């Protein structure tokens, strides 16, 4: 899991954790972070809905 400042996990969908963190401008971002070993996928979204959708459709690169 990549280091993120002030990352707060709020829910989990499969291997993906959804959480919020603040970017350098102080704005809250919704991050989806895959916790599977060898995957390492993560992305930031402006809404939790978008992050949840990405988590549901995420396919790990490593099986």
Residue of 17, 19, 32, 41 interacting with Zn ion (CB under 5 A): 41
Structure tokens, 35: 């916790």
Residue of 20, 36, 42, 48 interacting with Zn ion (CB under 5 A): 36
Query: Using CB atoms within 10 A of its CB, is residue 13 exposed (0-12), middle (13-18) or buried (19+)?
Result: middle
Check residue 55 for interaction with Zn ion (CB under 5 A): no
Check residue 13 for interaction with Zn ion (CB under 5 A): no
Q: Which stretch binds Zn ion (CB under 5 A): 2-10, 20-28, 38-46, 49-57?
A: 38-46
Q: Report the 10 Å Cβ neighbour count for 18.
A: 19
């Amino acid at each position: 899991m990549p280091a993120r400042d002030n990352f707060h996990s709020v829910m989990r969908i499969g291997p993906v954790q959804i959480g919020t963190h603040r970017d350098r401008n102080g704005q809250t971002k919704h991050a989806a972070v895959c916790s599977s070993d060898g995957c390492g996928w993560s992305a930031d979204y402006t809404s939790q809905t978008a992050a949840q959708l990405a988590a549901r459709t995420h396919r790990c690169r490593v099986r």
